[in-house]
Chains A and B, each alone.
Chain A
């Protein structure tokens, strides 16, 4: 049974992505007691699946390593993985939270030596690669996974393979009897940092993501660049593994669209500009990038980056929301059909890979949060101190990493204000 010491001066942070980790660390480094919940087996969230950040083109794992070191060193934070909030009752300064914890079947004793993975043969689609690759039934989610403990997939836990894994573990870290448990804990304030998920591209029917192999999403493209990713870091066409020569990037794929997400997801323009630099970096003059856009939203200093990309002769910009994609059956190339609205030019352009810059959708739409929050109809949390529950990062608005962290830092202070009031009242 997981036991957690938490009081009404504890800050509960829901979500262990960069926003949740930031909120938890900033509060803990102010001396506050924090419980950090993550529904996945490891922290890091969406950013750990990115190859580089714009506009610096630096690596997300670099900052993640620092945050993990802060986390390991800080005794004020209690991290629970594979844990999700079931219900929140009570009021600011006095919340009671029920948390459901799924079994990992691997205890703290795990040394991440990897013997269990050797003993397990069956494979499953790799969530970390959006299913573009397979992973073992016993696995470490990724190189920088923290806690650095393996996970035994529930689908093998009950099988002979589970037994084999148990037998293979020299430190006796595998516990096949682990059950799902529900615990309740106290909290004075709650920071809700459940982040975002990529909009389901299959719903954008005219683009045929569900029908055409060479139509992929921007997040899948990121995974391709990871040397430990599904294509060992190589930009490839899913249909035949060939190197693309003429890549299209479609903006607002699911954003600014009443049929999908009404909001502008803010990051997609920059993500695409960044991804054209991947193409340039890896394929040089052997590949062209075309960006189909409505407005390029490269705010503040980031516009320098936008101008730099525009200077690349291999990158062209077309002001147009692509109307439809059709496929050439023989080559699996794709035709993008539409109209360049700058002067009305019809096009039916051939590309051999299409990347949909998919929008950001709240992982947990604010309306469905099992607690009293102020939500707008787009599914984001709006600031309302009276609730004692504060959105951090993308649960509060479509934000880039930098703004999400800024927002999470602010959320940490708002939570501290609540628990300090409690402390004051209790003397």
Chain B
């Protein structure tokens, strides 16, 4: 529909997100993403590496950046890659899916493709951390990025203006090791969305999506709140707006069902 074609990096490996550090040191961690980049250069020369996950994008892009600024580290990485029969030229642009949508496709074309505008749905655009920092989307500020709101707008929804917790952290991987502390953060994120009059939260980050959605019961138990806030991935919004069925849009995958979207998809 927006004619973007993605192909898997053959035999990709996990980037260790930003939690590998207890086990692996600097070089082992960097080599993980370096391997993916090397594979991409080998199998899809000239293609961009596009990540749909914030953590993957950040880890991969950071690797690219640090290796290009640190010759010694770059050399060591290649020594390491040789063990896997690989070599890295480090020439591949690393991009986030959102970047591709905004910069290559553009809001206009995203809008043109809309079949079922998300009318009268108030949506809090929760950008989170790693899609936003330290790289972020060109031209956006760290504290109050606007692209997700624009996104909601072009899909026909109405964004929550200056959503207070737009870029605050959901605890990321610490949701596992420090559940109480992380859930406290999540509580604020959802609370702020309700304050802004949101019916649902949209996010470009899978980690955020999961963390903010799946722990609402626990938060309700602990804090006596009555949260029942759907949290959807931005692609879900697009799918619905572009006329896909609830199933195709993966709405059945929501633990907290996004009724408003299901209705539109059902029409």
Contact = CB atoms under 8 A, between A and B. Distances in A.
Co-assembled chains A and B: yes
Interface string A103-133: 0000000000000000000000000000000
B164 A205 contact: no
B192 to A, nearest CB: 10
A161 to B, nearest CB: 37
Contacts of B141: 205
B164 A208 contact: no
Interface residues of A, number: 7
11 contacts: A205-B141, A205-B142, A205-B143, A205-B144, A206-B143, A208-B143, A211-B144, A211-B162, A324-B143, A326-B164, A329-B195
A326 B143 CA distance: 11
Interface of B: 141-144, 162, 164, 195
Contacts of A208: 143
Contacts of B142: 205
Interface string A304-335: 00000000000000000000101001000000
Contacts of A329: 195
A206 B168 CA distance: 12
A324 B141 CA distance: 14
Contacts of B195: 329
Most buried by A among B141, B142, B143, B162: B143
Contacts of A211: 144, 162
Interface string A324-359: 101001000000000000000000000000000000
Nearest to B195: A329
Contacts of B164: 326
Nearest to A324: B143
Given A205-B142, A211-B144, 9 more contacts: A205-B141, A205-B143, A205-B144, A206-B143, A208-B143, A211-B162, A324-B143, A326-B164, A329-B195
A339 to B, nearest CB: 17
A211 B162 CA distance: 8
B115 to A, nearest CB: 35
A205 B164 CA distance: 13
B137 to A, nearest CB: 14
Nearest to A206: B143
Contacts of A326: 164
Nearest to A326: B164
A57 to B, nearest CB: 36
Nearest to A210: B144
Interface in A198-255: 205-206, 208, 211
Contacts of B144: 205, 211
Report, nearest first, the 5 A-B pairs whose CB atoms are least far apart. Answer: A205-B143, A205-B141, A206-B143, A211-B162, A205-B142
Interface string A154-193: 0000000000000000000000000000000000000000
Nearest to A208: B143
A326 B167 CA distance: 13
Nearest to A203: B141
B122 to A, nearest CB: 17
Contacts of A324: 143
Contacts of A206: 143
A209 to B, nearest CB: 11
A324 B165 CA distance: 13
Nearest to B145: A205
Contacts of A205: 141-144
Nearest to B167: A205
A326 B142 CA distance: 15
A72 to B, nearest CB: 48
Nearest to A327: B164
A326 B163 CA distance: 12
A205 B140 CA distance: 11
B199 to A, nearest CB: 20
Contacts of B143: 205-206, 208, 324
A289 to B, nearest CB: 26
A205 B162 CA distance: 12
A326 B162 CA distance: 11
A329 B195 CA distance: 10
A240 B143 CA distance: 25
A205 B142 CA distance: 7
Contacts of B162: 211
Nearest to A212: B162
B237 to A, nearest CB: 25
Nearest to B164: A326
A136 B142 CA distance: 39
Nearest to B144: A205
A235 to B, nearest CB: 27
A347 to B, nearest CB: 18
A199 to B, nearest CB: 16
A208 B141 CA distance: 11
A329 B163 CA distance: 12
Nearest to A205: B143
A211 B141 CA distance: 13
Nearest to B161: A211
A333 B195 CA distance: 17
B124 to A, nearest CB: 15
A24 B143 CA distance: 45
B181 to A, nearest CB: 15
Most buried by B among A205, A324, A329: A205
A316 to B, nearest CB: 27
A206 B142 CA distance: 8
A206 B143 CA distance: 6
